[in-house]
Structure 1
Amino acid sequence: MGSTSVGPGLDALPLRDDLRGRLPYGAPQIDVPVRLNTNENSYPLPEPAALAVVAALALEVRQLNRYPDREFTALRTALATYLGHDLTADQVWAANGSNEVLLHLFQAFGGPGRTALGFTPAYSMHPNIAATSATAWVDGLRGAPSGQFDLTAESAAEQVARHDPDLVMLCSPNNPTGTALGLDVVTAVYDATDRAVVVVDEAYAEFARTGTASALTLLPGRERLVVTRTMSKAFALAGARLGYLAADPAVCDALRLVRLPYHLSSLTQAAALAAVRHAPDLLGSVQVLREQRDRIVTELAGLGLAPVPSDANFVLFGGLADPVATWQALLEHGVLVRDVGIPGHLRVTAGNPDETSAFLTALTRVLEETP
Structure 2
Amino acid sequence: MTLRFLDRVTGQLSCEQLVDRHGVTCEPIRALLIDYLEERRPRLDYSTLDNLARALTRNFWSDLERHHPGIDSLALAPGVATAWKERLRTRVQRRKRPDGTVEETVVERADRAMLFIAVRAFYLDIARWAVEEPGRWGPWAAPCPIKEAETTDHKRAKRVKAQMDQRTRERLPALKSFAKAAADHHHYRRACLESLLSVPPGKTFRIRDAVFVRTMNGDSAAARDAGGNLLHFDLAEQRAFWAWAAVEFLRHTGARIEEMRDVSHAMIHQYRLPTTGEIVPLLQIAPSKTDQERVLLVSPELADVLSTIIRRVRDPRDGTIPLLAAYDYAERTWEPAGTAAVPVRPRRGELPHERRTHPPNAARGPRLHRPHRRCRPTAGLHPARLPPHVHH
| TM-score normalised by L of structure 2 | 0.22
With CA pairs under 8 Å and 6+ residues apart, which has the higher RCO, 1 or 2? 1
More helix by share: 2
Q: Which has the larger radius of gyration?
A: 2
| TM-score normalised by L of structure 1 | 0.22
